[in-house]
Amino acid sequence: MPAFSGSALIVSWLQAAATTILTGDHKSCSYTPSLTLYDQTAGADSNKSYVVGVKDGSITFNAIMQSGTGSGGTLTFSTLTEGNIGTLLINPEGTAAAKPRITIPAIAQGVAQSWPYDNVCETTCNWQQNGPRVEGTN
CA–CA dist 107, 130 (Å, integer): 6
Q: Which residues of 46-80 are buried (b: 16+ CB within 10 A; e: fewer)?
A: eeeeeeeeeeebbbebbbebbeeeebbeeebbebb
Query: What's the pLDDT tens digit per position in 12-56?
Result: 999 987 888 887 788 899 999 999 999 999 999 999 999 999 999
pLDDT at 69: 47
CATH architecture of 6-137: Beta Barrel (2.40)
Query: What's the pLDDT tens digit per position in 85-131?
Result: 999 999 999 889 999 999 999 999 998 888 889 988 888 999 999 99
- Give the mean model confidence (pLDDT) for residues 81-85: 93
Q: Enter the pTM of the model.
A: 0.85
